Amino acid sequence: MGAIIFHLLKRLKMHRAVYVFAFLAVLSACTDDDQESHGDVKYKTYHNQLYDYKVEYPDFLIPQGEATNRDGQKFISEDQAIELLVYRDYKNNYLADGDLYRVDEAYKEALRSVQEVFNKRLEDNAYIIEYKKGDALHTDYAQLYADNYFNIRFIYAEKDQHMLQGTIKHVINSLSLGVVDGRTQEQDSNALADSLADMFPAFIEGFLSDAYWGKNFNNLLRSNDKTLATYIDSNMDVRRYYAPGTVAILASRAEGFGFAQEDDFSSKAKAGSAGVFELIGSDVSPCGLDFNTVQRVYYQRLQSLPDVVINMQTFETKSVRVIYPQAPIMAVYLPNAYGNPRGF
């Protein structure tokens, strides 16, 4: 069966908590001393306390000390052949209104300033551009979070390109934003998850009233209805899994969420309010949920989001990254207009 996931986030100011939940259809800065080994490369962690982000860097790069403005740091290999910069900046349109660039705008501006691009990719809240400048190759990665852009730049000789591929990927994937001390997270994670599970029904009840009962959610999403604005984090926005065949593909707003002309944009979920909110185990499949005997809303804590297929020929998959790695992930299962389960 196909699968659809929308990533929504809402901050609860009273409880100072963050929910990340998914919609599924049937289906001074310091350097930490600890190291993590990945193959032949070991990694250390750089934590920028001013802007509250962490990133892992390979131990063959030597920290050069933070910049004067404390936005980041440079790391250089002993032979000075490889350079890594991590830093925060604010990308805005100085020539017009001065507003912060959207990710797609920042991506276009970055492309205008470079030549000999050999790889580029725009994502929902980030982009990567790889290019040659002089005798060196550059890998530039930028991710938007809370009106700031967090950047990772590798500069290296072309002969080292193959050797560095895994390291560059690891460093980019290790970027964590809005982090707190790891020991505090570990101690508090179970208590936080239990607290969120207790508060979640009240939260989802508001969403159902605003954006689901008596409405066509596909239509609200496609038209960017203002009703959804309260529930969507602009740093993460919305993404949707859809299944044109037997595998699921992840689509962003820029890709029209993968909607097709034949998709349902008219039928409405039966108006009403949930009779029962029921927390189900993490191992329970949504396919067997019962929506016929009583109007139920099922919700479930997920350990991770489903992987996404990135190559339709080889069926290669990759994990889905979110910009709030410590936030509990909740799934909600609802009846659609025909009484079949639909997941959020």
Q: SS3 for the chain, per residue?
A: CCCCCCEEEEEECCCCEEEEEEECCCCCCEEEEEEEEECCEEEEEEEECCCCEEEEEECCEEEEEECCCCCEEEEEECCCCCEEEEEEECCECCCCCCCECCHHHHHHHHHHCCCCEEEEEECCCEEEEEEEECCEEEEEEEEEECCEEEEEEEEEEHHHHHHHHHHHHHHHHHCEECCCCHHHHHHHHHHHHHHHHHHHHHHHHHHHHHHCECCCHHHHHHCCCHHHHHHCCCCCCCEEEECCCCCCEEEEHHHHHHCCCCCCCCCCECCCCCCEEEEECCCCCHHHCCCCCCCEEEEEEECCCCCEEEECCCCEEECCCCCCCCCCEEEEEEECCCCCEEEC
CA atoms within 13 A on the CB side of 63: 20
Residue 32 in this model has a pLDDT that exceeds 80: no
Q: What is the pLDDT of residue 287?
A: 77
Least Cα distance to 29 among 89, 92, 71 occurs for: 71
Mean pLDDT over residues 64-77, rounded?
92
Q: What is the pLDDT of residue 190?
A: 56
Mean pLDDT over residues 17-24, rounded?
44
Residue 6 in this model has a pLDDT that exceeds 50: no
Q: What are phi and psi of 50, to 5 degrees?
A: -65, -45
Give the tens place of pLDDT for each residue, 85-114.
999 998 887 655 667 888 999 999 999 999
Q: What is the pLDDT of residue 2?
A: 38
In this prediction the pTM is: 0.53
Measured distance CA(183)–CA(176) in Å, rounded: 15
Considering only residues 67 and 168, tell me which one the structure prediction assigns the higher pLDDT.
168
Q: Say which residues have a Cβ less than 8 Å from residue 186's Cβ, sequence separation at least 6.
A: none
The b-or-e profile of 230-239 (16+ CB within 10 A means b, else e) is: ebbbebbbbb
| Domains defined for the chain, CATH in brackets | 7-26+181-343 (no CATH), 53-177 (3.40.1000.10)
Q: What is the pLDDT of residue 192?
A: 53
Mean pLDDT over residues 135-145, rounded?
95
Q: Tokens for 183, please give them.
A: 């020991």
Q: What is the pLDDT of residue 1?
A: 34
Find the range with the poorest average confidence among 27-31, 70-74, 171-175, 323-327. 27-31
Q: What is the pLDDT of residue 23?
A: 44
Measured distance CA(169)–CA(243) in Å, rounded: 27
Measured distance CA(54)–CA(189) in Å, rounded: 18
Q: Tokens for 329, please give them.
A: 């992930």
Q: What is the mean pLDDT of the chain?
A: 78
Q: What is the pLDDT of residue 239?
A: 82
Find the range with the poorest average confidence among 52-61, 91-100, 159-168, 259-268. 91-100
- The share of the chain scoring above pLDDT 90, in percent, equals 30
Residue 200 in this model has a pLDDT that exceeds 90: no
Four-residue CA torsion sign, 335, 336, 341, 342: negative
Q: What is the pLDDT of residue 289?
A: 81
Mean pLDDT over residues 110-132, rounded?
94
Considering only residues 116 and 326, tell me which one the structure prediction assigns the higher pLDDT.
116
Strands 30-38, 249-252: pairing is unpaired
Give the tens place of pLDDT for each residue, 313-335.
787 887 777 777 667 788 888 87
